[in-house]
Structure 1
């Protein structure tokens, strides 16, 4: 009897241990997949992984989870590694900071809602007594309103036609939530990059694309970044870029072919992006969405699918694409806590037809599939990489200039000049600036960058002095670190990650502690970057 009971118990224990092992394996596997939802490498070796990831993503991508991440609502604690390094022998010389504008109204609305925004308070009307708000919002509004005439008089001519505050709710206007986001982000990064207020003016360069939402976001960011010098920044300090890719920005040399945004191939990005706006005519949820939003009254989109695209041509830019519908939903409803919209049932007037979570989940899956196809398309990779190449080249050249300047001050024993704030170049752009930038770096994002996202390129120097006075070091080594929303992604750049493994062999250094030697970053920009397109110079790559 005893033996039989023991045998049964042992069998049960083996079964339990098997289940536990299986559960742990599944958990680790899911954790691995989830960890890849921010960055992805584009290579032939990962095609199988992508299809598996895409299938898994359909199981975990809920509209609520995605919108929470994308909206990036103000009032949350901002965290990040910007301006800090765990190694005390590292000194920060400069940073290039690309920010995405804050929360805005949708780009467009579907036909059924065109000209009919949701009822209630307009989200772009600024009122610091109403949420979302913070301690800086009221002061910012009063400062700008009290000095509008003075500020506008001294501003860049391209910006003088823009309102300094989003008082009118036009399409794509920045909202109070967006202004509050940027105030908080500026305040956070002020604590990381500003150490000496008296010298900060000469250490900061500011650029923006020529859109009201990026300009107004920049103003609120600057007020949070350094309110004491806000007027100085705004009056004649802000330059504009004619391109959302900042290809005409060069701080270190005379203008060249690269900085005139003359690349013909790069100018095809918008049309290439439009060619990946497929619908799924076989999905009943998507068909229901078509009917409910009356999309087909304006465009026969049910015919547009991945398979039929070659037959009927690319989707026009004005068409209500899946990504535009999702943008409308997240910008108009999810980000502002509104319930999903409903429309009267034309057949049964007493009833309404409402969007539901299942339909929107299918829409998100479709948006994700289109996006994955796009970032794996060679022509899109080439166009976006060439569009961002001048900007990356400008960063590379500026970093080399900063190192030369630092060495000069060290050689002249002017050590006081090496203790100033790090150089900061602030650029206010879009999600379609950040997305192509990471494609160019060969680590494309699997999802659109959230509102108020930031990308930091930091230049550090390493020496053997713990007091950061590297002028007295035997050897000064410059390094580049790249952060996305505060997270170090430098090691994901293939050229840097592969080579820094032997540069930093110490097992105590994690991937997040391994910057990229500036010489490797320079090699990636000036040599390996164009080799991907079988070209040796930028002009030839643009024409091929």
Structure 2
């Protein structure tokens, strides 16, 4: 699980008022997306208790009939003829499924958000109010279940919801989704292919080294091996997160080297190409910016926007902002955007040039807004906010003016994504 955001309310300047919260998170711990390294770990993990109820509801043709629940058992046929099918226990997981641990992690993140933004800051309502929250998710079961756990398991547990509570989650057709670098963008695929060639060359020596160190478990390690470097890392990280013991020769050095090449495989293009960032994550960055601008202009009453995505959501988003640490985003990682405005009470008016009366105009100048970005347990100081005038007058460089934040974002948002995605020969 990723480190939780700090709950210390002292991080919040007294002269600023929180007006909007946006949280972009990766889903919780899951199983590997396919069967790998079965000589080290079982092919099926029994860490998905929710499966005891999954697919057990029987829909009757009689609308007056009560729901029926039929226990489900999964039988997996063996490849060899004559072998008895293997019976999976009710808690057996599917590939890529959110697990018990993943559900707990997401509920824990929700509880921390409640501690900060409900209990300490009194910003979000004590009881769930669907008019104050919007939820977006990619169209994957693990991301939708993750945000369900975050909200209903932690942020607004049972006693903080009405009996008729319904969690409304907005999704988009994967062809058009903007919460990950969408491969349906042809130009982005071109850029990714060129980036992959570069990473192959950059990591040539490291691949040779990893192949030798992991020769007991795989034939070779590369971007195209079976399993690939990414597949190996994904399986090892997921297994470790669920308590499986790794062999002693797969030590921290091996894990870090695998992580380095996988980070390059997936994020080298975004790190080094403005066009890649623009086409990959620019539309989501634009959405986040637009919600801030709407709030600053008084055009939106919502207080919280949640975006449930993947490692390939969190990593490129941090790269676009200049806050990426070159580490693979852990399960349940969260990028938190806080929008503040300067308070307009009398004490602040006398001490701040931002809220002073315009000379001879008889009108009060619009209160300035500030953006702060958290990543897990860190408060980021974005590179585009470091110059004088681009952050809070107190000298806190993590409090970026909204205008400076908009400048960071401006060139990264495509004006016409579909057009810019066309093939370029």
The normalised TM-score by structure 1 is 0.57
Contact 2:6 2:377 in 1 (8 A): yes
Aligned to 1:459: 339
Distance in 1, Cα, partners of 2:209 & 2:184: 45
Distance in 2, Cα, partners of 1:464 & 1:404: 16
What SS does the aligned partner of 2:137 have? strand
Q: CA deviation at 1:117?
A: 2.9
After superposition, the Cα gap between the structure-2 partners of 1:88 and 1:522, relative to the gap in structure 1 and judged at 3 Å, is same
Q: Is residue 80 of structure 1 aligned with residue 80 of structure 2?
A: no
- Structure 1 unaligned spans of 5+: 1-70, 128-140, 154-165, 250-259, 305-314, 342-354, 409-416
Contact 1:94 1:424 in 2 (8 A): yes
Aligned to 2:233: 326
Q: Which of the pair is proportionally richer in helix?
A: 1
Aligned to 1:511, which of 397, 404, 417? 397
Aligned to 2:156, which of 220, 226, 229? 226
Aligned to 1:337, which of 243, 267, 274? 243
Aligned to 2:29: 103
Contact 1:244 1:433 in 2 (8 A): no
Deviations 1:225-270 (A, max 9, x none): 11233776645x2111334995289xxxxxxxxxx99743335576
- Structure 2 unaligned spans of 5+: 64-89, 358-363
Q: Is residue 522 of structure 1 aligned with residue 406 of structure 2?
A: yes
Q: Is residue 386 of structure 1 aligned with residue 275 of structure 2?
A: no
For the aligned residues, what is the CA RMSD? 4.4
Aligned to 1:179, which of 103, 107, 118? 103
Aligned to 2:170, which of 239, 251, 272? 239
Q: CA deviation at 1:221?
A: 0.8
Contact 1:101 1:430 in 2 (8 A): yes
Deviations 1:9-48 (A, max 9, x none): xxxxxxxxxxxxxxxxxxxxxxxxxxxxxxxxxxxxxxxx
**Which residues in structure 2 correspond to 1:135-284 (within 5 Å)?**
167-194=91-118, 195=122, 196-197=125-126, 200-223=129-152, 224-227=154-157, 228-229=160-161, 234-235=166-167, 237-243=168-174, 246-247=177-178, 263-267=185-189, 276=199, 280=205, 283=208
Q: CA deviation at 1:323?
A: 2.9
Q: CA deviation at 1:325?
A: 1.1
Deviations 1:263-292 (A, max 9, x none): 4333557656765465647856632413x2
Contact 2:48 2:91 in 1 (8 A): yes
Aligned to 2:369, which of 453, 461, 478? 478
Q: CA deviation at 1:486?
A: 3.9
Distance in 2, Cα, partners of 1:461 & 1:148: 51
Contact 2:385 2:397 in 1 (8 A): no
Contact 2:127 2:161 in 1 (8 A): no
Q: CA deviation at 1:461?
A: 0.5
After superposition, the Cα gap between the structure-2 partners of 1:391 and 1:233, relative to the gap in structure 1 and judged at 3 Å, is farther
Contact 2:47 2:92 in 1 (8 A): no
After superposition, the Cα gap between the structure-2 partners of 1:373 and 1:282, relative to the gap in structure 1 and judged at 3 Å, is closer
What SS does the aligned partner of 2:95 have? coil
Distance in 2, Cα, partners of 1:199 & 1:212: 23
After superposition, the Cα gap between the structure-2 partners of 1:467 and 1:430, relative to the gap in structure 1 and judged at 3 Å, is farther
The normalised TM-score by structure 2 is 0.71
Q: CA deviation at 1:337?
A: 2.8
Aligned to 1:9: none
What SS does the aligned partner of 1:444 have? coil
Q: Which has the larger radius of gyration?
A: 1
Contact 2:5 2:377 in 1 (8 A): yes
Distance in 1, Cα, partners of 2:127 & 2:56: 24
